[in-house]
Structure 1
Amino acid sequence: MNSKIGTVDQYVERYIFFVERRYQKDEKFKKKVLEALQKIAVPPKALNVYPLDSPYLGCLAFAVTTEANSSDPAWKLSRKFAKSLRNPVKVFSDIDDNLLEMSWVERAKTLPWLNAERRRSSSELSNGGRRDGLSIPQHDLRPRDLNHGRKNQRDLRTNEIGVKGYGKSGRLTEMRQLSQPPGVSEAELGNLFRNYEFAGNGQVVYVIDTGFDPTIPELSDVKFDDWIYAGPFPTDEKGIQMTTKWHGTIVVSKVAGKITGVAQEAKIVAIEAGDGRSIDTFEAEGWIDGLLKTYDHIRRVNSDKNCIVNISFGFGLGYFDILWAANPRFTIADGIRSYFWDSILYVLNEFTRLPNVVIVSGAGNGRKNTPIDTFPAIFAQRLKSNRMVVVGGVDKSGLNYYQKADFVKVWAPARDLAYPCEPGRVDKRPTEFLREHGLCFSVSGTSFAAPTVAGILATMLSAGVPLNQVVNHMYSLAYPRVPGGPNIVYNGISTKQWKQQR
């Protein structure tokens, strides 16, 4: 099936028309454009024209599905609205070699996206002698600054909150390190992950991703508060199991999963920004629509609550080279990129203006220490707001493994992580513990460092840290686990609080 009702087995294309800023809140203009777009849309025409619209931010763009080879009528329409619409960008095609079969998975192989890296070979599953099946760090992860972060703990009184020790989470190296106090070695942690009681209680974490499976054991206790579908063709076809669906499932598990999560009491709002037209496809307009729907939901439903928006998947600059190849009327790829850039930057900036919101994004999975070139992380430099946190990724030794920039101020475990297994997957799970709890090994990427930080922010907020202080508080507590390493996130629970452990 190539499309929705009325377009079965019909070759189609999809174009996106971005709206000039001064017309985005003009309802009369919007009505005229919708009527004009329906004239070039395939049947059912009303369902194949989709405005990327927000009652608060206006209409940023229109997406229209047309017959194949509709470039001429699309450009003719844009000239009719030359002052208000930008030139059309073809973003999907059943027949264009530049776009055909370019699924989310295929693009991830060639572009520096925030995609998951999975190890599958037996040699890569070597456990190095550990009972939990995870590799031994190259160094003893013992920080040197014994007084690190103590002033912040005392001032914000988080040390008055009850603490719990989690033995199952503590079986995982990446979890233990999150509650590792300065001056305490791995051996002294006692195979426990320590966290505040009621971690994340009263906080809302929005997760914009490709899809989610709430039925797996690791997510069975997650407090899903709402579920939002985004994009012209939302992923609502029941029974389709997208391989990319597991990306979002893992992300939620890192926020609030039973064993792999850090903020089990937080409420989760899931935003599916996949494309329901076909398996595994990603379209940027659905991603932008996910941002808009998240913004609207916060304003409409959770304006009185602390909200953290986690964005663990995005796209690299190479995505626009693909679009440029499919849109030869544009002279340079930067012309297309500027359309997307302006709209995304506008929405992210509006997020940072909300008094109750923090955005968290992964730095990207490009080569170690290379500059960040992925959306949305790249916008942090332009926004210059501590309401947008970009998270780097470290390996088991505590050293940076991925892209970085001056605006990256916190890192989290991002290599060889345990994650919830897909139903029915046959995998050589390395230990009985992982097998018993439906966990696999291993997955890597800053996609999963970001939700760890999002969860810790939710935990700090639930412990009483004010939202306007929580990001700087987290930055002040983060510290290198090894000499020369970056500042890895730390939840702030001191050894004195261990005595209060329940």
Structure 2
Amino acid sequence: MDVPSTILYSSLLLYFFLHNPKVAADNTQGLNEWYPKIGTWEKSHKRYWYNVRENPTGLPQGMENWSKKELDAELPVSLMTEFWPYLLPPAKFAIHKIDSKYLGLIGLVVDTMPWVDENDILAITRKFKAQLFYPWHYKANNGEVSIKHLTESDQEELLARDIDKEHKPGLQFRAITSHNTVYKESTEFKKVHNLFKLGRRRTKLPKESPNSSSKQLHSRAFEGMQYEIERIENAGYDQISLSTPLGRTIERQVNDFGTSAFRWKQGGIGVDVYVIDSGCDTRHPEFQDAYFKDWIYAGKNSLEEEGDDHFIIPGAAEEGEEEEEDILVHHGSAVIAKIVGKTVGVATGAQIIAVKAGRQGDGFPQYTWLEAHLKVYDHIMDHLDSRRFYSYTDQERLQPCVIVSTVAIETMDKRFTEYILRKMIKGWAKMVCYFVVAAGNKLSTKKRRALVDTFPGVLGADKKLKNLVVVGGHDDDYQNVHQAADYVKISALSVGVLTVRSVGMGLEPPDGDWNLAYEEVDGTSFSAPQVAGILAILIQQGNIGQGHPDPLERLYKLRRKHVSKDGDPKPAYNGIRQLQWPGALEAPRRGALDHF
């Protein structure tokens, strides 16, 4: 079919006109030939993260009586107007709101061109000082000095002075120059690397591991076993640890019964579990029976599609060994598998709401994790009615839920982060939601215990936050090996945890065999979901009258209280008693501690 010449010539003329750089520059406010072209933003830009005051003071004339809602609506518009000449194109997408329908506007993230003058940005920021707080500059005797030239202790002292006495949220003003080729060497990357570090990863599993072949990983049929539990053959040591009866060691359990473990069949069924992480690769066979109830997406440039983004972990080497290559860690898949994985999970009946924090050119910005928690808050509020039910006592109740967050939130404005997280956790308590977090991966020794030092784990020190569960990690001798504190009351195995190894979206598993896509990993990122799974099971059992009305109290009661040092976290136990085991297994001798 011939194309009419008029249409053809018009199309060509329009094409060349729109692709003329001069035309593009002339028609884009604030752009000229010195600006990078649209589409090159990921190579280099600056990012400013502002936090918004909850109680603004000194508002401009005419705005004194405005409500917080009105101020929140006006602020991004006014800020964009002032920033317009400096914004990264396309400018209308350069300002991102961190907000909540129920908690209001929390922060603003502004992306600018890389060459902007900091003094220009500071001048703009000053215009909004009534609503925004920025700890980037302050007045000294010799004039204005940039905070980036101060020591860390000086910065902490400055923040303590400048934030409102009531510890109300202020503003964080932060510049990040992102460049994919140099980001690995930056200080910021090293910080993030320390937070995400998983320890030594053992991808070569023992020969007896089920993952070294394509055979079936478990068998549920076993004569004499109570109907509500199931047996896992060739289980990981973490599963054996959770199901070993009180009074016995993992070593003794393995010597007597091999690598068998027991778990609750379809444990946690009907219980919502929010997992704030990098997403999940649901193609893995471990998730074929899992129920993903919903997906939530956070982050300025997050693609709203199911999947698992990755962390980049630089290669590590122990003394005397060659440095390993960098590895991609699909963190979310590994975490979620420990909850609902078909063979490696604890509570296979739980309903997963995957909260995917979007990865961007400069890694996983920390504001993204804070925003992800806010989105969980809104989602829970929006679905409160769906969680109402009548218990076995004919009383209307809210179905409890579990929120799992295993990645540390690092921020320059610590008091702001503390304020917002504390507010959310208190709100979750009213909504009967338990917040399960990881203690951290720094190693503890017999002589020195590494203390919890990142959010949200450090908030465990507040005894009023009773719905916050900070989970530590132990080895196969039930001894603490990671960060801990007096308020870290419970732990699970965090060394050699068997979980999935995601291969990344669009890629195929090794040799086309998903049975090879498993690995053993270290870290409290993988002990926390084990405890979250047990908590989901106890919630389910309480709902139907088979368990304790307070699942958290029951969780702590089931701990192994006499196997670890005083002051260390107590190992978790899934509560399956040996009298529920198959009759074909010789019951171990009952010890003095084999009761609860």
For Structure 1 versus Structure 2, the TM-score category normalised by the shorter chain is: 0.7 to 0.9
Equivalent position of 1:132 in the other structure: 209
Query: For residues 243 and 421 of structure 1, what CA distance do their matches in structure 2 show?
Result: 13
User: Would you say 1:363 and 2:431 are equivalent positions?
Assistant: no
Q: Which has the higher contact order (CA 8 A, sep 6+)?
A: 1
Partner of 1:348: 425
Q: Using the alignment, how far apart are the partners of 1:14 and 1:237 within structure 2?
A: 25
Pairing 1:75–2:75 present: no
Q: Which residue of 2 aligns with 1:218?
A: 286
Does the C-alpha gap of structure 1 residues 398 and 230 become closer, same or farther in structure 2, counting only changes over 3 Å?
A: same
* 1:495 pairs with 2:542: no
Q: Equivalents in 1 of 2:478, 2:308: separation in Å?
A: 38
1:62 is matched with which residue? 108
Structure 1's 240 and 306: CA in aligned 2 closer, same or farther, altered over 3 A?
A: closer
The answer for the alignment partner of 1:438 in structure 2 is: 516
The two structures have a TM-score, normalised by structure 1, of 0.78
SS at 2:437 equivalent? strand
Q: Counterpart of 1:314?
A: 408
Instruction: Report the number of matched residues.
Output: 442
Q: Tell me, yes or no, if structure 1 residue 44 matches structure 2 residue 44.
A: no
Q: Secondary structure at the match of 1:437?
A: helix
Q: In 2, are the aligned partners of 1:217 and 1:438 still within 8 Å (CA)?
A: no
SS at match of 2:55: helix
Q: Deviations over 1:21-40 (max 9, x none)?
A: 22597122123211122231
User: Does 2:310 match 1:242?
Assistant: yes
Q: For residues 18-417 of structure 1, what are the structure 2 equivalents within 5 Å?
A: 18-22=51-55, 26-39=68-81, 40=83, 41-68=87-114, 69-87=116-134, 88-94=172-178, 102=186, 106-109=190-193, 111=194, 113-120=195-202, 127=206, 131-132=208-209, 162-168=227-233, 170-184=234-248, 185-186=252-253, 187-188=255-256, 191-236=259-304, 242-243=310-311, 246-278=330-362, 281-302=363-384, 304=387, 305-315=399-409, 320=412, 336-352=413-429, 354-368=430-444, 369-382=449-462, 384-417=464-497
Contact 1:20 1:85 in 2 (8 A): yes
Counterpart-to-counterpart distance in 2, 1:106 and 1:425:
30
What displacement does 1:457 show? 0.6
Report what 1:156 is aligned to. none
- AA aligned to 1:363 is A
Equivalent position of 2:154 in the other structure: none
- 1:469 counterpart = 2:550: yes
| Cα displacement string for residues 155-179 of structure 1 (whole angstroms, at most 9, x for unaligned residues) | xxxxxx94322233x5322102211
Could you tell me how far 1:61 is from its partner in structure 2? 0.9
Q: Contact (CA 8 Å) 2:42, 2:179: kept in 1 or not?
A: no
Identity of aligned residues (%): 27
Asked whether the equivalents of residues 434 and 468 of structure 2 are also in contact (C-alpha less than 8 Å), the reply is: yes
Structure 1: distance between partners of 2:187 and 2:305:
17
Identify the residue that residue 143 of structure 2 maps to in structure 1. none
From 31, 42, 50, the counterpart of 1:17: 50
Q: Could you tell me which amino acid in structure 1 is paired with residue 344 of structure 2?
A: T
- Secondary structure of 1:193's counterpart equals strand
What secondary structure, in the 3-state scheme, does the structure 2 residue paired with 1:370 have? Answer: coil
**Is the 8 Å Cα contact of residues 398 and 481 (structure 1) preserved in structure 2?**
no
Q: Is the 8 A contact 1:366 1:403 kept in 2?
A: yes
Compared with structure 1, are the counterparts of its residues 414 and 238 closer, same or farther at alpha carbon in structure 2 (3 Å cutoff)?
A: closer
**Partner amino acid for 2:350?**
A
Q: Secondary structure at the match of 1:286?
A: helix
User: Relative to structure 1, is the Cα distance of residues 75 and 377 closer, same or farther in structure 2, using a 3 angstrom cutoff?
Assistant: same
2:334 touches 2:502 (CA, 8 Å); kept in 1? no
**Partner Cα separation in structure 1 for residue 548 and residue 124 of structure 2:** 46
What's the counterpart of residue 525 of structure 2? 447
Change in Cα spacing, 1:26 to 1:306, as seen in structure 2 (3 Å) is: same
Deviation, structure 1 residue 275:
2.8
Query: Is 2:534 the counterpart of 1:456?
Result: yes
Where does residue 325 of structure 1 map in the other structure?
A: none
CA distance in 2, matches of 1:219, 1:67: 42
Q: Is the 8 A contact 2:339 2:346 kept in 1?
A: yes
User: 2:348 is aligned with what amino acid?
Assistant: Q
Moved more, 369-378 or 25-34: 25-34
Offset from partner CA, 1:78-104 (integer Å, 9 cap, x none): 322222211152253237999775498
Supply the distance in 2 between the matched residues of 1:181 and 1:315 (Cα, whole angstroms). Answer: 36
Could you say what secondary structure the match of 2:498 adopts? strand
Deviation of 1:375 (Å):
1.4
Q: Is contact 1:162–1:500 with CA below 8 Å preserved after alignment?
A: no
CA distance in 1, matches of 2:577, 2:70: 59
The one-letter code of the counterpart of 1:360 is V
Letter in 1 for 2:109: A
Which blocks of at least 5 consecutive residues in structure 1 are unaligned? 135-160, 321-335, 429-434
Shift of 1:4: 11
- Change in Cα spacing, 1:300 to 1:241, as seen in structure 2 (3 Å) is closer
Are the counterparts in 1 of residues 43 and 361 from structure 2 also a CA contact under 8 Å? no
Query: Which residue of 2 is the match for residue 420 of structure 1?
Result: 500
Q: CA deviation at 1:192?
A: 3.0
Shift of 1:489: 0.5
CA displacement, residues 244-292 of structure 1 (integer Å, 9 cap, x when unaligned): 56111100001110111011111101111133345xx021111111000
Q: 1:217 to 1:104 in 2, by over 3 A?
A: farther
Tell me what 2:588 maps to: none
| Greater alpha carbon shift after TM alignment, 60-69 vs 232-241 | 232-241
| SS of match in other structure, 1:270 | strand
5+ unaligned residues in a row in structure 2: which ranges? 1-35, 57-65, 135-171, 212-225, 313-328, 388-398, 585-596
**Matched residue of 2:300: which SS?**
coil
Aligned residue for 2:345, secondary structure, equals: coil
- Cα gap change, 1:314/1:363 in structure 2, threshold over 3 Å: closer, same or farther? same
Residue 331 of structure 1 is matched in structure 2 by: none
- 2:307 and 2:489 mapped to 1: Cα distance? 41
C-alpha distance in structure 2 between counterparts of 1:310 and 1:500, whole Å: 36
Answer yes or no: is the 8 Å Cα contact 2:279–2:308 preserved in 1.
no
RMSD, aligned CA: 3.6
